[in-house]
Structure 1
Amino acid sequence: MTRKSPPLRILVADDSPSIRQILLALLGRQGHQVIAAEDGQQALDLFHRHQPDLLLLDIMMPVLDGMEVARRIRAEKLDRWVPIIFLSALDRRENLVAGLEAGGDDFLAKPLDFALLDARIRSMHKALDLQRQARESYRQLKAISDNVLDAIVTIDVHGRILSCNQATERILGWRPEELRGQNVNVLMPEPYHSSHNDYMRAYVEGGPPNVFGYGRERPALRKDGTVFPAELAVTEIRDGSQRIFIGLLRDVTERKNAEMKLMENAAALQQYYDQAEEENQLAARLLDKQMLRPGLQDSHVRYWLSAAKNFSGDVVAATRTPDGSLVALLADATGHGLTAAISTLPLLTVFYGMANRGLPLESMVGEMNRHLKASLPTGHFVAANVVLLDPASGTGQAWCGGMPESLLLDGDGEVVRTFASRHLPFGILGTDEFETSIDTFPCTPGHQLMLYSDGFKEAEGKNGAQLGHAGLREILRGVPPEQRLTALQQALAEHLAGSPAQDDISVLLLDC
């Protein structure tokens, strides 16, 4: 019968009350004992007080950050392994490397994938069980050694067995009286069995002491012919002209099995990681094929997408209708990463399908909402700006649902008009409640329409200040249309001052 693993004592350290509450509930339901800390110093204090089995550390915390907490714990050189899993929205390669160098064992990016978190904890639980079993085996073996329960065999200079203790029978299957007078090579498998006499003779005559000392591993042979891994220590006692050799032999089968199991677990984790990377690359290729359409290369279109994770939850799209009008979309799905990116695929399918047929903007936004309402899980939605610029009439149409205000700029970068969000995002309301009304405006040659996601406006610098509406307008003032995208990128880089963006960023500039 398989022995059930005991629950873990897990220390959760995160300055977000909501994340702490979610982890307390999730891990508690799995039977684990959970201790929560809201900053790094409190996490360190609780670690010393409760001696947890596993740590879930947020990297960005007040007082002490997660990496410093990990470094201090690792510096204590504990007599047991305590896994540390970092939780953070910072998932660039240098952050992963820094976390591992600080003493972390794994890394989970925010927002948390709870299924992946559960799998990681179960994997760590198995490794801790192996550690616990190995420690138990070690304590048992140490008790045996302390009580002289290892096999102890004494031999003379000719390799003949002089004596052995009772533990020899338990370990090797030989009774002491059966071994006395036999050559010690009876306890050795080949090739050691055949070469041992020559080695003994050479050593007695002044040769090198190859097997003397502690911690050497050699295969040993039981009476029944089975071979097992053993740890062998040999010392020599000289009493005048008499020389006696004492060998202590310990069966390390359990320890070797535990080491093998740990290596198998490590190989399984590496295989899982490699498979996940391969799947991510395939997903990236499929998403690029859906998003990078020819319409984005239109001379009246300039855009910028920057993902906070491997995959962006923001998306831009543009194409020409049969009558030459330019139709464009900028959308922002809830969340980050692959889940958010997948949420936008139905939107792109409907957008390009209806725009290429020249259907009215009201019909397009209504159909996009219908598709997303039917396909997205509850709680997921997509904020969006959808616009149409008609060069023939010199007019434009705009629909905004849940996005920051759009800006209509003149040739000098001054704001001529703003378009605030008047509608809810796609995927929330049913068809009967959803509003498709649009704003109509003059789109004069030389003017430019700017659409952007909240990741740009709300980007925080090192001092915690956001770029904001005022900062955005200041960047654009006096900048010619063809230079604005570069100016926005440079200004944001200076504002972040090397800090990573915490949200996806997208900008779409459309020339009238």
Structure 2
Amino acid sequence: MNNHGGKMKILAVDDNRTNLHILQVFLNRLGHEVVLAENGVEAVERFAAEQPDLILLDIMMPIMDGFEAARRIKAMNQERWTPVIFLSALNREENLVEGLDAGADDYLAKPINFIVLEAKLRSMQRSLALQQTSGDALERIRAISNSVLDAIVTLDESGTVIAGNRASERIFGWSTTELVGCNIDLLLPEPQASEHDSFLQRHLGGDNALGANREVIAQRRDGQRFPATLGVTEATLDNQRILVGVIRDISQQKAAEQKLRENARLLQAYYDQTQNEQQLAAQLMEMQLHRAGLKDPRLHYMVIPAASFSGDIIAAARSNHRFYALLADATGHGLTAAISMLPVLTLFYRMAKLDFPVRDIIGELNQQLKESMPVGRFVAATLLCLDEERRHGEIWIGGTPEAFLFDRWGRCTRSFPSANLPLGILPSDEINCTPVELNWEPESQLILCSDGLLEATDATGRQFGSAGISAAAANIAPAQRFQQIESALARHLAGALAADDMSLMVIDCL
């Protein structure tokens, strides 16, 4: 290993500089030397230049992804084992299989559990130390035994040992003096020892019973059995047929293979556990998200998650002649963001059912999030209540993009800016819970969306923006307006994956 005192040189590869910085600080704290790369091409170049002991490799990167980088590094590194640990938010079975096929030795899902990472590093460090010890021993043997790596034992036709090299002494524990004159069955366990003479005679008779380059079980002087590979060649010396056996102790190789199998088993178990947990979480979220209010005929909506779970939620409910709607966007993506929404949904549906005013609902939501969310976590939200008999409503926006009121001809007659902080940042007595009032003409529509929709970029980097909504809504009948915006967004993305959770809500105001 390229290290002193048991520490390693580690190549960390991630296209996110924040992730790289966190990894660098963590690894430096453990005493390791860290080499950084921001994509697959840089990773291959840094590997060739720095020859690290271990690689922490992200999968999803620009220019060259982690799979291709791993394949190229493994192709460059035939003589020395350099462990590759994949770091990725992708946790589907096909990603795991592709990673192992690309040469990965281990896998760690994002967000990184640094306790697990430290344990994996220690495990790899022990394996590398074992590899280094083995390599150093082999170098000494080469120097002492004229570059001979394996045990070489020479037999006569009766199976009697006539010569052995120093490697045979090291491997079997018998000195050459003790071995010469003894039958080769001394180096074999039962039942192979009792059967060896018949195998030998069959081989000499032309049956090639012993074969070449095959795995066998050998036995040391102390009776310990170990796996080995055996290659047999035949020669004639002084008109006497002799057999030369080359024996290689593969105990460490087998132990390494077993370790890899164990790592793969643990990795599979970890993956299965994660899948089960995500399925349970998905069922819980499904029960919370899909309420009857979302089937209201005057509501049209879509939610496109950037990960397995969406940090955006849409909720709707009716109380007497009032219609309540909520569009919320939690910090982050995936399961963590989705879980943040559970108290929001519970409070919204309970208070909407009891016909609470917008001011009170905002205050309760904010206080609940302030008391339960960690620092740095918050929820941007748009909440509205429409009295359809009076054609009068209230809307409160905190952190989410502005909302729009379109008339029957698709003209934006009013916009409602985001004038408040997201929920969960300040105590409720320090925020403005007062909503903005609104009125509308028949066949109007309110349009709400998350910032992920406005910031969705096409292949040229151009954002969809509020201009994309206005262009899609213009001169379109209210009944077709939601589908027109949805189609315009799909054309804008042109099949590209969402970089952030995207949500859209169109509400008919009769």
* Residue 286 (structure 1) aligns with: 284
* Residue 432 (structure 2) aligns with: 435
State the alpha-carbon separation in 1 of the partners of residues 115 and 420 from structure 2.
38
State the alpha-carbon separation in 2 of the partners of residues 309 and 238 from structure 1.
70
CA deviation string 1:121-151 (max 9, x = no partner)? 6425523531442353255246436715754
Instruction: State which of 459, 465, 469 in structure 2 corresponds to 1:468.
Output: 465
State the alpha-carbon separation in 2 of the partners of residues 290 and 239 from structure 1.
85
* Residue 32 (structure 2) aligns with: 32
CA contact (8 A) 1:326 1:388 kept: yes
How far does residue 441 in structure 1 lie from its aligned partner after superposition? 1.2
CA contact (8 A) 1:397 1:441 kept: yes
> Is structure 2 residue 321 aligned with structure 1 residue 324?
yes
* Residue 160 (structure 2) aligns with: 160
Instruction: State which of 266, 269, 285 in structure 1 corresponds to 2:267.
Output: 269
- Judged with a 3 Å threshold, the aligned counterparts in structure 2 of structure 1 residues 133 and 480 are, in CA distance, closer, same or farther, namely farther
> Is structure 2 residue 6 aligned with structure 1 residue 6?
yes
One-letter code aligned to 2:348: F
CA contact (8 A) 2:199 2:209 kept: no
* Residue 233 (structure 2) aligns with: 235
SS in 1 for 2:25: helix
RMSD: 3.0
CA contact (8 A) 2:141 2:167 kept: no
* Residue 313 (structure 1) aligns with: 311
CA deviation string 1:314-355 (max 9, x = no partner)? 01111111x231111000001111111111111111101111
SS in 2 for 1:289: helix
CA deviation string 1:21-44 (max 9, x = no partner)? 333333322322223345665544
> Is structure 2 residue 347 aligned with structure 1 residue 346?
no
How far does residue 401 in structure 1 lie from its aligned partner after superposition? 0.6
How far does residue 92 in structure 1 lie from its aligned partner after superposition? 8.3
TM-score by length of structure 2 reads: 0.88
* Residue 198 (structure 2) aligns with: 198
- Judged with a 3 Å threshold, the aligned counterparts in structure 2 of structure 1 residues 135 and 348 are, in CA distance, closer, same or farther, namely same
| Worse-superposed segment, 461-470 or 174-183 | 174-183
State the alpha-carbon separation in 2 of the partners of residues 183 and 108 from structure 1.
52
- Judged with a 3 Å threshold, the aligned counterparts in structure 2 of structure 1 residues 193 and 106 are, in CA distance, closer, same or farther, namely closer
* Residue 188 (structure 1) aligns with: 188
* Residue 49 (structure 1) aligns with: 49
- Judged with a 3 Å threshold, the aligned counterparts in structure 2 of structure 1 residues 499 and 84 are, in CA distance, closer, same or farther, namely farther
CA contact (8 A) 2:453 2:464 kept: yes
> Is structure 2 residue 138 aligned with structure 1 residue 130?
no
CA contact (8 A) 1:130 1:262 kept: no
> Is structure 2 residue 446 aligned with structure 1 residue 449?
yes
How far does residue 415 in structure 1 lie from its aligned partner after superposition? 1.4
> Is structure 2 residue 372 aligned with structure 1 residue 371?
no
Gaps of 5+ in 1: none
SS in 2 for 1:159: coil
CA contact (8 A) 1:8 1:54 kept: no
How far does residue 506 in structure 1 lie from its aligned partner after superposition? 0.8
CA contact (8 A) 2:377 2:424 kept: yes
> Is structure 2 residue 245 aligned with structure 1 residue 247?
yes
CA deviation string 1:456-486 (max 9, x = no partner)? 0000111111111112211122233333333
Equivalenced residue count is 502
CA contact (8 A) 2:106 2:267 kept: no
CA deviation string 1:274-325 (max 9, x = no partner)? 111111111111111111111111111121111101111001111111x231
How far does residue 98 in structure 1 lie from its aligned partner after superposition? 7.3
State the alpha-carbon separation in 2 of the partners of residues 443 and 166 from structure 1.
97
State the alpha-carbon separation in 1 of the partners of residues 226 and 93 from structure 2.
44
How far does residue 358 in structure 1 lie from its aligned partner after superposition? 1.1
One-letter code aligned to 1:410: D
* Residue 76 (structure 1) aligns with: 76
> Is structure 2 residue 507 aligned with structure 1 residue 506?
no
State the alpha-carbon separation in 1 of the partners of residues 68 and 184 from structure 2.
55
- Judged with a 3 Å threshold, the aligned counterparts in structure 2 of structure 1 residues 391 and 23 are, in CA distance, closer, same or farther, namely same
How far does residue 256 in structure 1 lie from its aligned partner after superposition? 2.1
Identity of aligned residues (%): 44
Gaps of 5+ in 2: none
State the alpha-carbon separation in 2 of the partners of residues 166 and 83 from structure 1.
32
One-letter code aligned to 1:225: G
State the alpha-carbon separation in 2 of the partners of residues 360 and 233 from structure 1.
86
State the alpha-carbon separation in 1 of the partners of residues 77 and 69 from structure 2.
14
CA deviation string 1:61-104 (max 9, x = no partner)? 47x66666555434424433444556677888888887777666
State the alpha-carbon separation in 1 of the partners of residues 166 and 445 from structure 2.
93
> Is structure 2 residue 266 aligned with structure 1 residue 303?
no
- Judged with a 3 Å threshold, the aligned counterparts in structure 2 of structure 1 residues 445 and 125 are, in CA distance, closer, same or farther, namely farther
Instruction: State which of 401, 404, 407 in structure 2 corresponds to 1:404.
Output: 401
* Residue 208 (structure 1) aligns with: 208
> Is structure 2 residue 421 aligned with structure 1 residue 424?
yes
- Judged with a 3 Å threshold, the aligned counterparts in structure 2 of structure 1 residues 145 and 99 are, in CA distance, closer, same or farther, namely closer
| Worse-superposed segment, 418-427 or 147-156 | 147-156
- Judged with a 3 Å threshold, the aligned counterparts in structure 2 of structure 1 residues 108 and 229 are, in CA distance, closer, same or farther, namely closer
How far does residue 209 in structure 1 lie from its aligned partner after superposition? 4.8
CA deviation string 1:238-264 (max 9, x = no partner)? 136410112233333233223222221
> Is structure 2 residue 219 aligned with structure 1 residue 218?
no
CA contact (8 A) 2:161 2:182 kept: yes
How far does residue 368 in structure 1 lie from its aligned partner after superposition? 0.5
How far does residue 49 in structure 1 lie from its aligned partner after superposition? 2.6
SS in 2 for 1:424: coil
How far does residue 16 in structure 1 lie from its aligned partner after superposition? 4.8
One-letter code aligned to 1:191: P
TM-score by length of structure 1 reads: 0.88
State the alpha-carbon separation in 2 of the partners of residues 254 and 332 from structure 1.
53
> Is structure 2 residue 385 aligned with structure 1 residue 388?
yes
